[in-house]
Structure 1
Amino acid sequence: MGSSSIIVYIPPVLFGLVALTFLVLRQQRIVTNWQWGAGFAQTALGFSLSTFPIEPTFDAFTSGMIFIGAAYCYSSAVFDHFQARSYDRERHWFVGAYTLLLVYFVFGLQSLRYQLFLTDIAFACLIGMALVSAFSKARRNADKWLVASIALVVVDTVARAGYFFFHTDGSDSFSDFVDSAYNLAVHVTTITICMTFPFSALVASGVAALERHREAAERDPLTSLFNRRGFEAALGGDGASDGAVLVCDIDHFKQINDTLGHAVGDAVIAAVADMLRQVSGDDAVTARFGGEEFVVFLPRRQLPEALASGERMRQTVCEKDWRFFGLTRTVTVSIDLVREGESDPHAAIARADRALYAAKAAGRNRVFQAGHEADANLSELASA
C-alpha cells in the first residue's frame, strides 16, 4: 500500500474530529467524563504513526502503547456511561502484563506478527470487558446502538488478529508494516465497520446528557423527588387519571428552621421525602411542591386504600426517632386526601391544598379527607 494513498489519512482525521468534538462537549459540561475524548485522540495518534512513520521499532512499541491506552479509556468511558463496576485493579494488572509482553515481542523477538496479534487481542479484551458489563444495562435505543457498535469492534479486531496471525505469511519486519496488507485491512475496516463506534458514542452521550438535563429540570435537588414540573410531566400532558391525591405538610416546620437552622430543616425534609417515597408504593407519583409541602398521587386507589396509605405515611413519620437530627420532639405531618375518580388531579391538589391549612386548625398530625378529619373512621373505611 503506498503511503500517499488517501485512505491512510481518513482514520486519523475522523478520529481526531471526534476527539475534538468530545473535548468541546466536556468543556460545555454536556459530556461528564474525559475518557471518550482521550480514547479517540489516542486512536487518531496511533493511526497517524502508520501514516507518518518515524522509526520502525519505535513505531511498533509506541503504537502498541497508544492503542492499549485508547482501549483502556474506551472501557473506562463505557463503564462510566452505564454506571457499571470499572474493574480498575484488574485492568491495571492487565495493562501491566501487556506492556511486559510488548517489550519482549518488540525488543526481544523483534516480531511484527506477534506484536500485532498481542495488541489486537489485548485491545479486544479491554473493550470486551466493558461490553459484558454494558450488555445488560443498555435500555435506551442509543445505548443499544453503542453496545452493538462495541461488539462490532471486538469481532472485527479478533477476526483480523486471528486471520493475519494464523492464515497468512506476511513479513515479520517492523519496517514492512506501513505497506502491509494488515495495515490496509485495519484502515478499510475502521472506515467501513468500526466508524460506527465513535458516532454511536457521540449519540449515546448526547442522549444521556439530554436525560440528565431533563432530570435536573424535573427533580427537586434536595429530595430527588419530582418538582411541580416533573409531577405534571409524570401525570401526562392533561393530567387526567383515576386515583387519589394526598397533600402532606410537615407540622410546625418553621420552628425547626428557627431553632436548629436550615441545615437541620433540610435534613428533616429529605428524611420525610424518603419515608413518603418508601410508603407510597412503586406506582405512586411523589413530588415536593416547595418548602415543607409534598404531594403524592396514588393511581387507581379507592378511598379506603388511599386513607390507609395516608395513615401509614403519618405513622411512619411520627414513629421515627428524630434525636439523630438534634430534635427533642417528634416530627409529625398533616395529610389531606382527595379522591378524584376521572377528574383532573391538578384541580384536586389545589382543592386539597386549600383545605389542608383550614383543617390543621382542628389539630395536626392527622389524615383528613377533603378538609375533614378522617382519623375517626379510618379503620372502618380501610376494612370496607
Structure 2
Amino acid sequence: MGENFAFFLPVMLASFSIAFLILYSRGMRVAGWWSTGYLCVAGGFTTPVVYSAVPTPLWSLLADILFATGFLFFSEALLQRWRPLWLRPARVAIWGLSCFLCATALAVGNLPMELAASDFGCFLLIALPLIAARGQLTSGADRTLFAAATLVAIDNLVRGSTIQLTLAQGIDYLVSDYAFLTQALACIFGMFLALAALATQVLDLLTRYERDAMIDPLSGLLNRRGFDDAVMQLGTTARSGSVVVCDIDHFKVVNDEHGHAVGDRVIVALARMLEHKTPDTTITARFGGEEFVLFLPGTDAACAAAIANDIRECFTRDIGSTLPLMRSLTASFGLSTVRRADTSIHDTIARADESLYKAKSRGRNQVCVSRAVAHPNFKSATTPAAASAR
C-alpha cells in the first residue's frame, strides 16, 4: 500500500462527500446521508496516516467506529429511497454490536477478530437495504445503484471471510495484503457507489426542477406550460373533448376584505374541488390569479356542462362553510368543445373564454357554453336557463 494511494483514497471520498453536500444544499435531503457517510469513511481511511504520526490503538477503534457509522448512513440513504425507516432500530443495533466487538477484540489484542467484526458489520448494514429494494427498482438509475451497493456488500463479505488468507501472521497490518485489498477495492467500489448515488440524486433534482416548472406552487395544479405539455402528450386523444374555463367572481373583494392568506385558501379549496369532481382523465390547470382551465378529453358539451355546474354549486355551498367569509362566494364558467378546424387547444380555450365573459356579463354564478346543450338536471342558480347558447 503506497503512501500516495493511502492519501488519495481519503481525499477522493471526502470529495464525494462535498459533492453530496452541494446537492443537500439544493434541497436533496437524502444527499445529506450520503455526504455524512462518505465523510465518515474518508475519516476511517485517514486513521492509518495519523497512526504513523501518533501510534496508539485508539486510532484503530476510531477507524472501526467511523466505518460502521459511514455504512449506517449509507444504509439510511438507500432506504430513504426504497423503504424509509425500515428496520432502523435493528440497523442501529448492528452498528452498536459491530463497534462493541471491535473494541473487545482490540482489548484482547485479536486483530483478525477486530477486522472481521468491522467487515461483517458493514456487510449487514448495506445488505439490509438490498432486501428492501425488491420491487422498487423501477428505473435504470435505481438498478445501477442497487448493483453498486451489492458489489460493496460482497466486497465486505468476502474480505471478512478471507482474513486468514490476506492477513499473514507476524506481518504489520499497514503492509499486509488485507490493507492493500481494502483500499484498492474501496477505491473501485466506493467510487462506483458514489457515482451511482450521485446520478440518482442529480436525476431526482432535475425531475424536481422539471416538476416545479410545470406545477403551480400554490394550488398544486398544472400551470400553463404544464397544461400545454399534458395536452400534447395526449396526441390524437386531444382532438375531441371539452374545455371549461373557471373564474372566481369578485375575487379581489376577498383579498381586500380578508387578506391574501384567505384568498390563497380559496384558491387551494377550489383546486382540490376541481380535482375531486372531475374524471381522472381531466387535465386541470391554474392559468394565473383566480382563473382555472380544465380539458376533459372525449367529453361532450352536455356532460362537461353538468360537471361544471356541479362544481359551481358545490363551490358556493362548501367554501362558505369552511372559510371565514363575510359574503357568499361564487364562480362563473365558460365552456367550449374541440372543433376539427382548431389548430391547437388554445383555439378551444379562446372560445371558452368568450363564453366565460358572457357568463360574467349575464350576472355571474352560471355556466355559459358556446353551443346549445340539453341536460334535464342542469339548472342555473341565478337564471332558469340551463346554459346560455351562442
Q: TM-score, normalization: structure 2?
A: 0.83
Structure 2 match to 1:302: 300
Which whole-Å deviations, capped at 9, do the CAs of 1:145-200 have from their partners, x for residues lacking one?
223222222232223323436xx484578x83222222222223223344210011
Q: Which amino acid aligns with 1:260?
A: H
Q: Which amino acid aligns with 2:145?
A: L
Structure 2 stretches lacking a partner, 5+ long:
380-385
Structure 1 match to 2:59: 59
Does the 8 Å CA contact 2:167/2:173 hold for their aligned counterparts? no
The 5 A counterparts of 1:209-358 are 209-236=205-232, 241-242=238-239, 243-320=241-318, 322-341=320-339, 343=342, 344-358=344-358
Equivalent position to 2:173, from 169, 173, 177: 177
Identity of aligned residues (%): 31
Which whole-Å deviations, capped at 9, do the CAs of 1:13-65 have from their partners, x for residues lacking one?
321222232334445x2644422222212222222224553436223211111
Structure 1 match to 2:71: 71
Does the 8 Å CA contact 1:149/1:196 hold for their aligned counterparts? yes
Q: Which amino acid aligns with 2:275?
A: R
Structure 1 match to 2:197: 201
CA drift at 1:137? 3.9
Structure 2 match to 1:123: 122
Does the 8 Å CA contact 2:36/2:70 hold for their aligned counterparts? yes
CA drift at 1:246? 1.4
CA drift at 1:287? 0.9
Does the 8 Å CA contact 2:359/2:365 hold for their aligned counterparts? no
SS at match of 1:301: coil
- CA distance in 2 between counterparts of 1:373 and 1:329 reads 31
Which whole-Å deviations, capped at 9, do the CAs of 1:103-152 have from their partners, x for residues lacking one?
22222x33222222222222233233444445544444323322322222
CA drift at 1:291? 0.9
CA drift at 1:285? 1.7
CA drift at 1:313? 2.6
- CA distance in 2 between counterparts of 1:151 and 1:319 reads 57
- CA distance in 2 between counterparts of 1:86 and 1:255 reads 50
Structure 2 match to 1:191: 187
CA drift at 1:217? 2.0
SS at match of 1:104: helix
Paired positions, count: 373
Does the 8 Å CA contact 2:94/2:124 hold for their aligned counterparts? no
* CA gap 1:77/1:368 in 2 versus in 1, 3 angstroms: same
* CA gap 1:141/1:82 in 2 versus in 1, 3 angstroms: same
CA drift at 1:307? 3.0
Which whole-Å deviations, capped at 9, do the CAs of 1:304-346 have from their partners, x for residues lacking one?
4333332343343234263332125544332222211554212
* CA gap 1:205/1:268 in 2 versus in 1, 3 angstroms: same
SS at match of 1:53: helix
Moved more, 34-43 or 47-56: 47-56
Which whole-Å deviations, capped at 9, do the CAs of 1:327-381 have from their partners, x for residues lacking one?
25544332222211554212211221232022222243333322778776749x9
Q: Which amino acid aligns with 1:18?
A: F
Structure 2 match to 1:96: 96
SS at match of 1:322: helix
Q: Which amino acid aligns with 2:321?
A: R
Structure 2 match to 1:15: 13
- CA distance in 2 between counterparts of 1:56 and 1:314 reads 77
* CA gap 1:331/1:207 in 2 versus in 1, 3 angstroms: same
Structure 1 match to 2:105: 105
Does the 8 Å CA contact 1:138/1:144 hold for their aligned counterparts? yes
* CA gap 1:64/1:228 in 2 versus in 1, 3 angstroms: same
Q: TM-score, normalization: structure 1?
A: 0.84
Does the 8 Å CA contact 1:366/1:373 hold for their aligned counterparts? no
CA drift at 1:272? 0.9
Moved more, 221-230 or 17-26: 17-26
- CA distance in 2 between counterparts of 1:144 and 1:64 reads 29
SS at match of 2:269: helix
- CA distance in 1 between counterparts of 2:43 and 2:166 reads 28
Q: Which has the higher contact order (CA 8 A, sep 6+)?
A: 1
* CA gap 1:294/1:249 in 2 versus in 1, 3 angstroms: same
- CA distance in 2 between counterparts of 1:373 and 1:362 reads 18
Q: Which amino acid aligns with 2:312?
A: R
- CA distance in 2 between counterparts of 1:216 and 1:87 reads 33
Structure 1 stretches lacking a partner, 5+ long:
none
- CA distance in 1 between counterparts of 2:22 and 2:306 reads 53
- CA distance in 2 between counterparts of 1:200 and 1:359 reads 56
- CA distance in 2 between counterparts of 1:374 and 1:329 reads 32
Q: Which amino acid aligns with 1:62?
A: L
Which whole-Å deviations, capped at 9, do the CAs of 1:75-128 have from their partners, x for residues lacking one?
333344558336655544443343333322222x33222222222222233233
